[in-house]
Structure 1
């Protein structure tokens, strides 16, 4: 089981958000986001921020850092670390199972991530065997798309996805985000796409848009 940072906004939460950080960061990276995102009157939430394993990253001259999978070049989808991606998907499956054991139903679990973390959130969520609340993919792209297409879960048909991307992103070009949006829509997923005048980062406007999306898809009256 991955080590995690956890923040609970109230007693006995029945909704969980598993949020994955980007390359070289750790589970503390998005802790400060919680008070900016959570709105008054929301039910109790548990935010789970796992730490990715430390691994050598080929693109960064083999330097060891926290990452969900290896990167081999600037073209993120040219040669992909499929084994590393699938290992991280399995680790997220274990976190989902733990939330289920704590009494959180799968349809009240949201997978979210930034950059590499967003790629794993997409890969894990689209293949998960039980219906989730949705997927949040920030400044990211869909990895191993052909492999995922062959393993799409019927339970996730029509699963809502929020995609936010910086129009000035030099790390994960916005075109990759737009391509991901098109692929997900082709598979029948309702995607809320938002573009922001920012580089590879997260902004207050994005968190505000995400909070509104969460109210509809994670915290709606049917949940």
Structure 2
């Protein structure tokens, strides 16, 4: 299955400038590009954002891949197809010299983990909000582990959509293979809260500082 992202509806806060990072916003199941675009004011203002629309129509909005009978366990081939569509969009619309941070909610969070695992050299960090990961091994997983990317995971302790074991699997898997920061928010369901956004902003300020080793490695590679 071949998918593509409609760039005509992408919501940009502004064009990325120089070596400043771009935050790629990826919405959840049944939502749309304007949803996470509203988070831009909560993020560090020096970074541009681009909120993209997922390629599949679903539930009155859009989806990255079809909903599965067991939430948090999508069909691997569907995730691969969506990931390729996102990478194709990145290759066409984002300067290779622009440091890139995917940030997604739920299905969008799953897309973040898959993007980082599939092409770890292209990204400098990732943010997963109530997201999960595919259990299927990828040929680039060792490369992903070697990259030691900073990743933030935030979720609620009362999420009624994604089973707790799917969150715990993602946490355990990423703890062994990345620089993981995880925060569980008391009383939060399948959503995003202001304390989480504040923590994400602080995480990004750390992860995207020019003193960060991963940031410097990326800049050195694109300007070599």
RMSD across aligned positions (CA) = 2.3
Does the aligned pair in 2 maintain the 1:127–1:153 contact within 8 Å? Answer: no
1:73 alignment counterpart: 69
TM-score (norm 2): 0.81
Equivalent position SS for 1:110: strand
| 2:211 alignment partner in structure 1 | 221
Match of 1:60 in 2: none
Question: Against the structure 1 CA distance between its residues 214 and 75, is the aligned structure 2 distance closer, same or farther, given a 3 Å change threshold?
Answer: closer
Q: Where does residue 182 of structure 2 map in the other structure?
A: 193
Alignment gaps of 5+ in structure 2: 216-224
- Runs of 4+ in structure 1 off by over 4 angstroms are 9-13
In 2, the alpha carbon distance for the partners of 1:90 and 1:153 equals: 19
1:83-119 per-position Cα deviation (integer Å, ceiling 9, x unaligned): 2211110112123324543741xxx210111000100
Match of 2:56 in 1: 54
The 2-side partners of 1:65 and 1:30 are apart by: 13
Aligned-pair CA distance for 1:11: 5.4
Query: Once the 2 structures are TM-superposed, how far is the Cα of residue 180 of structure 1 from its aligned partner?
Result: 0.5
Q: Which sits farther off after the overlay, 28-37 or 125-134? A: 125-134
Aligned residues: 205
Q: Using the alignment, how far apart are the partners of 1:10 and 1:97 within structure 2?
A: 15
Q: What displacement does 1:48 show?
A: 1.1
CA distance in 2, matches of 1:9, 1:208: 24
Are the equivalent residues in 2 in contact too, given 1:169–1:200 (CA < 8 A)?
yes
Aligned to 1:89: 83
Task: Describe the superposition over 1:37-96 as per-residue Cα deviations: whole angstroms up to 9, x where unpaired.
Answer: 22xxx53x221111012345xxxxxx564111112313432xx32222111101121233
For the residues of structure 1 that align with 2:40 and 2:71, how far apart are their CA atoms? 32
Gaps of 5+ in 1: 57-62
Tell me if the contact between 1:163 and 1:177 (Cα under 8 Å) persists in the aligned partners: no
